[in-house]
């Protein structure tokens, strides 16, 4: 698999990364060995870049995969100590909580350092509000506990901002051809705007990788179109894709190898829609658009889906301002 030097860091990453979110408790809640098996499957096919987060509670999958890979008799992967590049991130707002998040990752993953650690989901104005957390990242890099630091964001304006932050090494931004989930301040943003911001980061020497190529699962029906979009943009250095099944890894490998039929679309008959109770703000927009009347307010005042009524059309996800509705 093609590897690229991520910005001005010394990290070489595969053009696709393994997003572990889908296997974790927030979505599929796979047994640890099953999730680790998916990670190992991807690594054995040349993918060396892994994305996780404190919030995802998925460190056990990665740790188990690292144990299995170190036991592999045959081809052992790359260098430091195994050539994998692991990125994690935290929603922490202050210095102490960010420091604790880094320590937690090092302990739970049993790594001597984190390759990349980010401020997770930085929104408009958030970089300033979370300056204590940012200082913790700078200090951790200085101490050798983290190799590269940066932010993850859905926001065009935050991506733009990072181009002129000298301490920022990498930016992890949201982009897909349908502009699903892209924000600009309190408004929706477009993929063209995000690409322009990513270009500014690249011109400033930042490493850039991206998320949500399939819009949280809602663009999977246009599988090739979604992948064609991100892989045709030279500004995008690597694309994180969430994997919950080995066949999903195989699909991406087939695509990159050029052996995927032009009309291929994955079987998504197993997909369901759910609403993240952590992210829903109870605004009710999804309830208004659901023609099947499959969404109701639960006792917490948050939206919930009645699976027996849901047609998995995905229309509700377009209406949600905070991307709380996900397909899994």
| Site for ligand SF4 contains 316 (CB under 6 A) | yes
| Site for ligand SF4 contains 190 (CB under 6 A) | no
Phi, psi of 230 (to 5 degrees): -70, -35
| Site for ligand SF4 contains 322 (CB under 6 A) | yes
- Rounded to 10 deg, the angle between the 246-257 and 223-231 helix axes is 60
Q: CA 205 to CA 193: how far, in whole Å?
A: 19
| Site for ligand SF4 contains 326 (CB under 6 A) | no
Based on CB atoms, which residue is closest to ligand SF4, 165 or 319?
Answer: 319
Structure tokens at 284: 């009710």
| Site for ligand SF4 contains 311 (CB under 6 A) | yes
Structure tokens at 190: 């477009």
Select the span of 5-13, 135-143, 159-167, 320-328 touching ligand SF4 (CB under 6 A): 320-328
CA atoms within 13 A on the CB side of 291: 5
Rounded alpha-carbon distances, angstroms, from residue 311 to 81, 142, 218, 222, 324: 47, 51, 13, 18, 18
Restricting to residues 272-301, name those near ligand SF4 by CB under 6 A. 273, 275, 280-286, 289-290, 292, 294-295
Based on CB atoms, which residue is closest to ligand SF4, 102 or 320?
Answer: 320
Select the span of 88-96, 185-193, 208-216, 304-312 touching ligand SF4 (CB under 6 A): 304-312
Among residues 165, 204, 260, 310, the one that binds ligand SF4 under rule CB under 6 A: 310
Based on CB atoms, which residue is closest to ligand SF4, 129 or 281?
Answer: 281
| Site for ligand SF4 contains 324 (CB under 6 A) | yes
Rounded least distance, CB 326 to ligand SF4, Å: 10
Residues in contact with ligand SF4, counted by CB under 6 A, come to a total of 28
Give the DSSP H/E element, type plus range, for residue 226.
Answer: helix 223-231
Select the span of 36-44, 69-77, 139-147, 319-327 touching ligand SF4 (CB under 6 A): 319-327
Bridge partners of 210, per DSSP, are 173, 239
CA angle 87, 195, 190 (to 5 degrees): 110
DSSP state of 15: S
**Contact call for residues 154 and 182 (beta carbons, < 8 A):** yes
| Site for ligand SF4 contains 222 (CB under 6 A) | no
Rounded alpha-carbon distances, angstroms, from residue 261 to 220, 224, 317: 15, 10, 29
Based on CB atoms, which residue is closest to ligand SF4, 4 or 289?
Answer: 289
Rounded least distance, CB 123 to ligand SF4, Å: 15
Based on CB atoms, which residue is closest to ligand SF4, 247 or 298?
Answer: 298
State the DSSP string of 222-260: GHHHHHHHHHT-TT--EEEEE-SSHHHHHHHHHHHHT-S
Based on CB atoms, which residue is closest to ligand SF4, 234 or 278?
Answer: 278
- Which positions touch ligand SF4 (CB under 6 A)? 273, 275, 280-286, 289-290, 292, 294-295, 303, 305, 310-316, 319-320, 322, 324-325
């Amino acid at each position: 698999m093609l590897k690229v030097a991520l910005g001005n860091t010394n990290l070489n990453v595969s053009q696709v990364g393994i997003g572990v979110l889908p296997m974790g408790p927030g979505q599929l809640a796979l047994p640890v060995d099953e999730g680790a098996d998916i990670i190992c499957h991807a690594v054995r096919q040349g993918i060396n870049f892994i994305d996780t987060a404190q919030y995802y509670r998925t460190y056990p999958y990665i740790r188990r995969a690292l144990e299995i890979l170190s036991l592999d008799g045959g081809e052992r992967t790359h260098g430091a100590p195994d050539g994998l590049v692991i990125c994690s991130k935290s929603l922490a707002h202050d210095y102490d909580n960010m420091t604790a998040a880094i320590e937690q990752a090092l302990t739970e993953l049993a790594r001597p350092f984190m390759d990349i650690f980010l401020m997770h989901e930085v929104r408009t104005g958030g970089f300033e509000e979370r300056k204590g957390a940012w200082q913790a990242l700078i200090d951790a890099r200085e101490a050798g506990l983290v190799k590269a630091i940066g932010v993850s964001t859905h926001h065009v304006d935050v991506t733009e901002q990072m181009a002129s932050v000298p301490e920022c090494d990498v930016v992890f931004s949201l982009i897909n051809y349908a502009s699903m989930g892209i924000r600009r301040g309190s408004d929706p943003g477009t993929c063209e705007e995000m690409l322009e911001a990513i270009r500014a980061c690249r011109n400033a020497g930042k490493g850039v990788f991206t998320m949500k190529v399939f819009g949280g699962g809602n663009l999977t029906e246009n599988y090739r179109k979604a992948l064609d979009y991100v892989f045709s943009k030279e500004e995008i250095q690597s694309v994180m894709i969430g994997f919950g099944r080995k066949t999903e890894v195989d699909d991406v490998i087939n695509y990159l190898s050029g052996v995927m039929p032009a009309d291929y679309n994955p079987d998504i008959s197993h997909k369901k829609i759910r609403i993240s109770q952590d992210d829903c703000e109870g605004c009710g927009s999804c309830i208004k658009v659901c023609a099947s009347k499959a969404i109701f307010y639960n006792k917490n005042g948050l939206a919930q889906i009645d699976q027996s009524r849901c047609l998995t059309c995905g229309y509700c996800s377009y209406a949600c301002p905070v991307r709380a509705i996900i397909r899994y």
